[in-house]
Chain A
Amino acid sequence: MADAPGPDGTSAARVEITRDEVAHLADLARIDLSDAELDHLAPQLSVILESVASITGVAGEDVPPTSHALPMSNVMREDVVVPGLSAEQALSGAPASEQQRFSVPRILGDEQ
């Protein structure tokens, strides 16, 4: 990622995201991308990143971050039992189910 802003948020001249990096990010995001998709996405992501890199340095150290526009904390509801979904309802959209459980492909690899 040539000239990408470093962790200290200083330089933001040119942001380039390579095809390999897009492949790595897709891997982290658990999306299989085809070669054609990688070729298509990488340049588009570079353009987007370049346009958003303009915010680097806009806010000083002393500015607190905002995660929610109208912050609230310790929001509790009354501690009263309310009806939830039945097992049948919860499983109604499952791709596969067995014995009132979600049935999933194998989780462990061969060597495990």
Chain B
Amino acid sequence: MIRHSAAELAAALEAGETTSVALTRACLDRIAEVDGSVHAFLHVDAEGALAQAEASDARRAAGETRGPLDGIPVAVKDVLATEGLPTTCGSRILEGWVPPYDATVVTRLREAGLPILGKTNMDEFAMGSSTEHSAYGPTRNPWDLDRIPGGSGGGSAAAVAAFEAPLAVGTDTGGSIRQPGAVTGTVGVKPTYGGVSRYGLVALANSLDQAGPVTRTVLDSALLHEVIGGHDPRDSTSIDQPLPALVEAARAGASGDLTGLRVGVVTELGGEGYQPGVLARFTEALDLLVEAGAEVVEVSCPTFVHALATYYLILPAEASSNLAKFDAMRYGLRTWPEGVESPSAEEVMRATRDAGFGDEVKRRIILGTYALSSGYYDAYYGQAQKVRTLISRDFAAAFEKADVLVSPTAPTTAFRLGEKLDDPIAMYLNDLATIPANLAGVPGISVPSGLADEDGLPAGFQVLAPALADDRLYRVGAALETLLAKKWGGPLLDRAHALAEEAAR
């Protein structure tokens, strides 16, 4: 039962073949069985999830079902505030913090009747590409437990890849939904900036952050996106117009027909620095799109080569401001400095921020403080904001020639735990292909493209669309998924055996 998609489970619920309590219990059993090895969850709320499942079953019995996903369990990244459930952002500074309110995304999950299984692991404050920067220990990749599940949302991706949850919510600031999707063989979507409310999402870089679906199928992402998306007056950057018809687009795409679609291959997102097996699966996937009727054009986005540098100025600048609120006064950790008699609030603040933040968070706060300091502001932050304009212009020009743009999602497959932990630049390079979309606010999806020949590990195919055209991601993503499943004789995740081997040991 746990291996079925959310759409299949919803059909089973509707047909009366199972109950939400049974589904939720199956997920909780699976978590108990494998999460000791995977560590996708920081907190599991068995009691709360079962109570919500019972309520869902009661609604269904009374004919008052709230929507297609009523009763389907979901896991939530620990960066989204959940009333009554701990929210740590993977940081010691928020250890044990229980928010007094729900993020809008969480409110919508509850209103749509999805039982919340728990909170998923992440790099501290979403800073990282491997989930190794979590203060509570790394998450492991269900394909190979010695490897990273991607990041920052490695917990959400691993939870769906390990069949602990059919659905999860992630957040994507520079690739934190899409890159984990790629390296775990799952689907992840970063919606158009402003398409999903950021109210209650603990901000990393507020001009880049966007919450989105993490699932095993493209249709499931569309279903979840329709639940969490749409205008929210509590977020001043929320887009005040209806979402496109996402589920409809995913169903249309699943026919496998892409006649008339123009697919742009971005010259700058490929080649050097990309693993041969990742590129081979990308090229094969592209060939399938052509067979389905798409026309391929090559497009150049020359400023994309500066996207990584732009991002690593804008992000730390925004993060250093956003994280100033962790001051040991109103919530979170308070650490008293050692050997200081009657310390001042400022001394307590300094000691707390030293004890509460990990290495990567400190690196980025200091970098951001530097980039924003007088004398350097124009050269760094000011310049980065201008390059951001050029990146948006590159996208605009490319979307004149193509309906969607495509690239490998991440340059490599999952690397080994510890391999890049103390080499920030090597770690940052993971987000090479995903960052431009965040800088320009356009939506993107990662769909599994197959296993790389070198290591037998999953790779991802990224599709990007113009702002507000999220439906195109679902049409193209679903078409590719259908064509690849036909070629493989089933979904890619059927070939992930690490957990089965672990269980047999």
Residues of A within 8 A of B (CB): 4-9, 12, 17, 22, 25-26, 28-34, 37, 40-41, 44-45, 47-49, 51-59, 63-70, 72, 75, 77-78, 85, 89-90, 92-96, 102, 104-109
User: Given B239, B348, B377, B385, which contacts A70 in the complex, CB threshold below 8 Å?
Assistant: B239
B324: chain A residues at CB < 8 Å are 30
Q: Dominant SS at the B interface? A: helix
Which residue of chain A lies nearest to B437 when distances are taken between CB atoms in the complex? Answer: A69
B308 to chain A, nearest CB (A): 8
B278 at the interface (CB under 8 A from A): no
Q: Which one of B306, B350, B384, B389 lies within 8 Å of A31 (CB-CB)?
A: B350
Inter-subunit contact A105/B343 (CB<8 Å)? yes
| 0 or 1 for each of B343-385: is its CB under 8 Å from A? (1 = yes) | 1111111110110010100110111011001011111101111
Are A55 and B354 within 8 A (Cβ)?
A: no
CB within 8 A of B313: which of A30, A32, A55, A102? A55
- Cβ contacts A to B, 22 pairs, < 8 Å: A9-B383, A25-B373, A30-B327, A37-B354, A53-B309, A55-B387, A57-B383, A58-B383, A63-B389, A63-B390, A65-B386, A69-B439, A70-B194, A70-B237, A94-B330, A95-B328, A95-B329, A95-B332, A95-B334, A104-B329, A104-B345, A107-B345
How far is it, in angstroms, between the C-alpha of A77 and the C-alpha of B362 when the chains are bound? 36
How long is the Cα–Cα vector from A77 to B240 in the complex, in angstroms? 11
Within residues 89 to 104 of chain B, which ones have a CB less than 8 A from any CB in chain A? 97-101
Quick one: closest A residue to B381, CB to CB? A65
Contacts of B362 in A (CB 8 A): 26, 31, 33, 37, 41
Q: Is the CB of B331 within 8 A of A93?
A: yes
The answer on a CB contact under 8 Å between B439 and A105 is no
Q: Considering only CB atoms and an 8 Å cut-off, how many residues of chain B contact the other chain?
A: 78
Cβ–Cβ < 8 Å partners of A93 in chain B:
97-100, 330-332
Inter-subunit contact B337/A32 (CB<8 Å): yes
> What is the minimal beta-carbon distance from A101 to any residue of chain B, in angstroms?
11
Give every chain B residue within 8 A of A69 (Cβ-Cβ): 193, 207, 388, 392, 438-442, 467
**Interchain pairs with CB closer than 8 A, number:** 195
Interface residues of B in 303-352 (CB under 8 A from A): 303, 306, 308-310, 312-313, 320, 324, 327-334, 337, 342-351
- A37 to B147 alpha-carbon distance, docked (Å): 27
* B62 CB-CB contact with A under 8 Å: no
Known: A69-B467, A102-B330, A105-B344. Contact between A41 and B313, CB under 8 A? no
The interface residues of chain A lying within 8 Å CB-to-CB of B350 are: 30-32
Q: Specify the chain A residue showing the minimal Cβ separation from B192.
A: A70
Task: From known contacts A41-B366, A55-B387, infer whether A107 and B344 are also in contact, taking CB-CB under 8 Å.
Answer: yes
Given the known inter-chain contacts A28-B373, A105-B343, please indicate yes or no for A45 contacting B366, CB distance below 8 A: yes
What residues on B are CB-neighbors of A37 within 8 Å? 354, 362
CB-CB < 8 A to A102: which residues of B? Answer: 329-330
Inter-chain contact B100/A89, CB cutoff 8 Å = yes
Q: Is B244 an interface residue (CB 8 A)?
A: no
Q: How far is the CB of B361 from chain A (nearest CB, A)?
A: 9
